[in-house]
Structure 1
C-alpha cells in the first residue's frame, strides 16, 4: 500500500507540469487546446532520441521544452493568423505532430534502458518536488508581470484588452507556447522515468490534465493565482492517488484507466453543482423557517 501511495505521488509530480500547462490554456486563456496530446509525445520523443544519442539529459530535457514551445507557437499562428477556430487549430496540430513525432523517433518506440537519465542515480521523489515548486513559483511571478496580466486579461475579455492597445494575437501565441512547453517538459521527464518514449504516450493527456485542474480547484479552491497553481499541482497528485486506489479494486484492470479518468472528471464536474444546490436549498429552508418564526411572533403579539 505504501509503495502504491509513493508511486502515485511520484506520478502526480511528474504530471503536475503537464497540468500547469493545461491550466494556462484551459483556465487563463479559455482556449480548448488539443495540441497537448501531440506535444506531450514530442517532449518524450526529443528527450529519448537525444539521450540515446549521448546528449546530456539536462540539455535533452531543455530541448524537449523548446520543442513543445514551437508546437504551441504553431498552433497559435494557425489560430490567430490563419483565422481558424481554436479547437480545430489544436486538432490539426495534434494530427501533424503524430507524423512529426514519428520522424523524430524513427520508430514507434525508443528505449532508454542502459543510458543515463535525470533519474538514473536519483529518484523522481527527490528531484521533482523542487522542480515543480520552482516552475510553479516562476509561473506565478510571470502571471503577475504586465505581460502575464495581459495574458490573463486576454482570456477574460479579448475585445476589452484590444481596446487598451494590447496585441491579443501575441498573448495567445505566448500562452499556447508556454503551455505546450510545460506539457513537453512533462513528457520528457516521464519518458526518462519510465525508460522509453512511445508514439502513443500522449493519447488522452488533455483529459488527465483537465482532471487535475478540475479536481484541484474543486478541493482546494482558486482564490488567487498562487492558490490556483498550487491547487493544480495538488490536484495532479490527488488524481494519481485516486487512480492508484481505484486500480487496487479486484475487478478493475490497467486497461480501465481511461474509463476511471472519465468517471473522475465527471464526478469532479458534478460535485460543485450538487454542493451549490444543497447550499441554496439549505438557505431557502433557513429563510422559510425564519419567516415562519417571524410570522408566528407577529400573530402572537397581535393577539395581545
Structure 2
C-alpha cells in the first residue's frame, strides 16, 4: 500500500495538470496521454546518456511545455476544436516519442535517477519516500495556488469561467489558453519523468488511457471535498489521485482479478465518481453527520421533578451547544 501511496503522489502532479485544463481553463485537453510519455522518454534517454537526474527531469518537463503549447496554437491560431487539437497533438507525439527513444522501451536499470539514493538506502516504497514525495508535491501545490492568485492566474481563471466576458475586459484569451495548456502538460510530463525513474524504464505505451486516471483523480477529490477555494480544491485533487491509486492497488490484490481488466476498472471508477455527485451521496453523508452532532436524546432532557429537587444532572454537550447557539442568536 505504501508503493501505491508513492504512485499516487507522483501521479498527483498529473492530476494537477488535468485540474488546470479541465476545471480552471475549461479546456478538454487529450494531449495528456502523449505528453506523459514524452516527459518519460526525454528523461530516460538523457539519463542513459549520462545527464544528471535533476537536469533530465527538468528537460522532460520542458518538452511537455512545448507539447501543450502545440495544442494551444492549434486551437487558438488554427481555430481547431479543443478535442481535435488535443487528439492531433497526441497522435503526433506517439511518433515523436518513438523518435526520442529510438525503440519502444528504454530501461534505466544502470542509470542514476532521482530515486537512486532512496533505492540504495532501502527507503524506496516506504513512508520515508512517501514523505519526501509529499513534501515535493506540496511545493508544487503552493506554487500553483500562488500562480492562480496572480494577475495572469486570475486572467486564466476568467478565461475559463467566461471567455467572452474576459475578452471584453481586454484579456488576451488566446494567450491564456496557451499558457494554461503549456503549464498543464508541463506538470504531466514532469509526472511522467518521475514515474519512469520510479519504475526503472520508459515505455511507449505508458501514457495510453492516462486521461481517465487524471479525470478520476479530479472527480473523486472534488466530490469528496467540495469547496470553491482553489487551494482546498488543489489538495482535494491530490487526495483523489492517492485514493484512485489505492483502489487500483486493492483491486490488484484480489486473487481472481485479471490485470487485463485494469482499463475497465479505471472506466468504472470514473463512472462511479461522476454518478456519486448526481446522487448527492457525499452531501447526504455530511448532512447526517451534522444531524448526529445535534441529536437530543431522551435522557438529555431533565425530569421536572428532578429540577424541583435540585438533583437534575447538567445538560449534555448537544443540548448545551444548542442552547448556546440560541443565546447567541
TM (norm. structure 1) is 0.88
Partners of 1:222 and 1:63 in 2: CA distance? 35
SS in 2 for 1:121: helix
Change (3 A) 1:248 1:140: same
- Structure 2: stretches of 5+ with no match in the other structure: 119-123, 288-329
Partners of 2:71 and 2:29 in 1: CA distance? 8
Residue 126 (structure 1) shift: 4.3
Partners of 1:229 and 1:106 in 2: CA distance? 37
Tell me which residue corresponds to 1:165. 170
Cα RMSD for the two superposed structures = 1.4
* 2:48 equivalent to 1:52: yes
Q: Do the aligned residues in 1 keep the contact of 2:42 with 2:60 (CA within 8 Å)? A: yes
Change (3 A) 1:118 1:278: closer
Tell me which residue corresponds to 1:43. 39
Tell me which residue corresponds to 1:91. 87
Tell me which residue corresponds to 1:225. 230
Residue 77 (structure 1) shift: 0.3
Q: Do the aligned residues in 2 keep the contact of 1:222 with 1:231 (CA within 8 Å)? A: no
Tell me which residue corresponds to 2:180. 175
Compare CA radii of gyration and give the structure with the larger one.
Answer: 2
Q: Do the aligned residues in 1 keep the contact of 2:217 with 2:237 (CA within 8 Å)? A: yes
Change (3 A) 1:223 1:257: same
Tell me which residue corresponds to 2:259. 254
Partners of 2:267 and 2:236 in 1: CA distance? 20
- Structure 1: stretches of 5+ with no match in the other structure: 283-304
SS in 1 for 2:106: strand
Tell me which residue corresponds to 1:73. 69
Paired residue for 1:18, among 14, 21, 36?
Answer: 14
* 2:213 equivalent to 1:196: no
